Amino acid sequence: MFTNILLLLIIFALLWLLLRKRAGAEPDEERLPQFPIPRPKSGFVEPPRQEVKIRFDEKENTVRIEPPNLILAPNKQAAWSSPSGKIEIRFSPNEAPFGGSSFISAQDGVSLSGLPRPEAAHEIALNYLVLFTTPDGRLLNQTASLVVSKREQAEQSN
C-alpha cells in the first residue's frame, strides 16, 4: 500500500512538471518581467516653454526676476527656475490663468505652469508674488507680472 501511494505521488509530480513545462515556465524558475518594463505609447507632447529666471543678488540683498513682465503666448507655458534658491510662485486664486495658483521649485529645479486656461483673462497684466528662500534660510519676496497674449508667438518684454 505504501508503494502505491508513493507511485501515485511520483505520477502527480511528473504530471505537474509536464504541465508547467508546457505552460512555458521552467520547473524551478519563476518568470521575471522583462527589464526595462516597456512603457505604453503616448501622444502627449509637452508645450513649449517661456523661461523665467530668478536670481538672488547678494550685494543688494534682492531677488531679480528676468523678465519681470512676462508676455506668455496662449500655446506656451511659463517655466520658473532659480539656480540660487528655492522658489514659490503665487497668483491670486481668483485671477490665476493656469490650473493652479501656486507653483514650487527646489534650487536648480523648474516649475512649469502648464498652458493657460482658455477662459483665462487675455491681454491683462496679472501680478504674482515670488517667495525666494536662500540656501542659508532667508526668506525674500518680489513681485512680477504676467500677461497671457492672444497671439500664438508672443515675445518676452521688460
pLDDT per residue as tens digits for the range 45-61: 788 999 999 999 989 99
Pairing of strands 86-91, 125-133: antiparallel
Average pLDDT over residues 57-79: 94
**CATH top-level class of 49-148:** mainly beta
Mean predicted lDDT score pLDDT of the chain: 87
Q: What residue type is assigned to position 74 of the chain?
A: P
> In the chain, what are the domain boundaries?
49-148
Q: Mapping DSSP to helix (H, G, I), strand (E, B) and coil, where does residue 5 land? A: helix
CA 7 vs CA 19, 21, 26: distances in Å? 18, 21, 24
Residue 23 has what pLDDT?
67
Beta carbons within 10 angstroms of residue 132's beta carbon: 22
Model confidence, pTM: 0.69
Residue 52 has what pLDDT?
97
- Long-range contacts of the stretch 124-127 (C-beta < 8 A, 24+): 124/148, 125/69, 126/91, 126/92, 126/95, 126/96, 126/97, 127/92
